[in-house]
Structure 1
Amino acid sequence: MDDSDLPVRLAKPARRALEGAGYLRLEQLAQGSEADILKLHGMGPKAFELIKHTLLEKGLSFRK
Structure 2
Amino acid sequence: MSVQWRKSSYSGSANDDVCVELGRLAPGAGVGVRDSKDPDGGHLTLTVAQFGSMIEQVKRHPAR
Q: Give TM-score, length-normalised by structure 2.
A: 0.33
Instruction: Name the structure with the higher helix share.
Output: 1
Instruction: Name the structure with the higher strand share.
Output: 2
Query: Which structure would you say has the larger RCO, counting Cα contacts within 8 Å and 6 or more residues apart?
Result: 1
Q: Give TM-score, length-normalised by structure 1.
A: 0.33
Q: Rg bigger for which structure?
A: 2
